[in-house]
């Protein structure tokens, strides 16, 4: 029988030196400044911006009143943050967070992680009690290889690496750049710019394309809206391939661009957030056509680099596809997991 859902417990203020509570809209600037301040020291490939945090607070599946946590110092400055997300029918929760560099090595990160684990247990208890799930609670967290201090915290609490991912780049300017390869589509397949009228059709295509990918769960309307409305999304650099005979979306490429990252990373980047081909349409050159189209769009927009991330053990052979299209791995990240 499922256990009664335990009360939510915040980290101990006397041990951490911080006062803890859930995030609210009044905290958005303070919260975003904490993440940016941490990123300025740790230089992650990507970090959440204010617009991303707005989406976090708008979530109905992951109530920010119980699934977010901010730690404030005596002056009211946010010094640590954590949150978890979980699909009600899902078999895992995902954690994110950071600690101000000036407050690291004080046990604050471990306190945030302990809270994430406790909230993960609560979410699973609630979902199991409601009959939505029967899974044991699992928490999954992603870190970059360049951040061994994060790995040390996770390893000390019993987490194991369960997957590796590669960030890949393809030069679009300079002596190492090459023109986008020709990748024509078969007759009857039509490529066009991503249009708002196709949002739902592309969501369904995504769920079909990724149902055999490790760790992927179907995206509902809310999750998909946050995906396509992400502040850095570039619909004009994104494309879909449609089967003219049926009107079905066969594949898609969703792109993004963060103009602020150029100053930090030293190059302008066109990023492929998602690339998917429905199972029934694989092996017909659709992924190559979408990538070649993205390269041309990125180049026309003045980008220096085309980039994307790929699961090192992707079952569709995506890594070989990207290597064949001129991409090379530049950074690695890992996914950690613990069954609670």
pLDDT tens sequence for the chain (340 residues): 344 556 677 899 999 999 999 999 999 999 999 999 999 999 999 999 999 999 999 999 999 999 999 999 999 999 999 999 999 999 999 999 999 999 999 999 999 999 999 999 999 999 999 999 899 999 999 999 999 999 999 999 999 999 999 999 999 999 999 999 999 999 999 999 999 899 999 999 999 999 988 888 999 999 999 999 999 999 999 999 999 999 999 999 999 999 988 888 889 999 999 999 999 999 999 999 999 999 999 999 999 999 999 987 765 678 889 999 999 999 999 999 999 9
Rg (CA), the chain: 21
Cβ contacts of 283 within 8 Å, gap of 6 or more:
none
Three-class secondary structure of residue 182 per DSSP:
coil
**C-alpha–C-alpha distance, residues 291 and 321, integer Å:** 10
**C-alpha–C-alpha distance, residues 172 and 313, integer Å:** 26
Which residues make beta-bridge pairs with 311? 165
Residue span(s) of the chain under CATH 3.40.630.30 come to 13-158, 167-332
The CATH code that applies to domain 13-158 is 3.40.630.30
Question: 228-283, pLDDT tens digit by residue?
Answer: 999 999 999 999 999 999 999 999 999 999 998 888 888 999 999 999 999 999 99
Q: In 3D, which of 46, 50, 88 has the Cα closest to residue 67?
A: 88
Cβ contacts of 37 within 8 Å, gap of 6 or more:
100, 101
Three-class secondary structure of residue 243 per DSSP:
strand
**C-alpha–C-alpha distance, residues 235 and 29, integer Å:** 27
Q: Give me the residue label for tokens 């975003």.
A: 32
**What does the block give as tokens for 185?**
């589509």
Protein fold of 167-332: Aminopeptidase (3.40.630)
- Confidence (pTM): 0.90
**What does the block give as tokens for 9?**
């417990």
């Amino acid at each position: 029988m499922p256990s009664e859902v335990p009360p939510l417990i915040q980290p101990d203020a006397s041990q951490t030196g911080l006062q803890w509570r859930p995030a609210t809209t009044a905290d958005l600037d303070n919260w975003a400044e904490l993440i940016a301040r941490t990123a300025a020291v740790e230089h992650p490939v990507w970090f959440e911006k204010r617009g991303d945090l707005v989406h976090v607070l708008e979530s109905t599946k992951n109530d920010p009143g119980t699934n977010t946590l901010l730690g404030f110092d005596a002056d009211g400055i946010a010094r640590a943050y954590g949150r978890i997300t979980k699909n009600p029918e899902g078999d895992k929760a995902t954690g994110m967070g950071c600690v101000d560099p000036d407050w690291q090595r004080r046990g604050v990160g471990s306190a945030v992680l302990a809270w994430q684990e406790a909230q993960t247990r609560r979410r699973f208890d609630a979902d199991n009690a409601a009959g939505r799930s029967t899974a044991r609670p699992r928490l999954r967290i992603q870190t970059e290889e360049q951040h061994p201090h994060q790995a040390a915290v996770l390893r000390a609490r019993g987490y194991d690496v369960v997957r590796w991912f590669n960030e890949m780049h393809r030069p679009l300017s300079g002596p190492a750049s090459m023109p986008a390869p020709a990748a024509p589509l078969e007759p009857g397949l039509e490529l066009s710019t991503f249009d708002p009228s196709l949002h739902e059709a592309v969501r369904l295509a995504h769920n079909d394309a990724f149902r055999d990918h490790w760790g992927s769960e179907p995206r509902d309307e809310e999750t998909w809206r946050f995906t396509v409305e992400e502040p850095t999304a570039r619909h004009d650099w994104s494309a879909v391939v449609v089967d003219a005979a049926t009107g079905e979306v066969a594949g898609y490429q969703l792109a993004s661009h963060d103009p602020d990252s150029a100053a930090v990373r030293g190059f302008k980047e066109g990023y492929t957030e998602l690339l998917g081909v429905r199972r029934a349409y694989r092996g017909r050159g659709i992924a190559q056509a979408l990538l070649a189209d993205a390269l041309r769009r990125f180049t026309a927009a003045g980008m220096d680099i085309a980039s994307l991330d790929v699961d090192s053990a992707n079952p569709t052979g995506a890594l070989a596809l990207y290597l064949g299209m001129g991409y090379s791995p530049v950074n690695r990240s890992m996914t950690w997991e613990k069954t609670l």
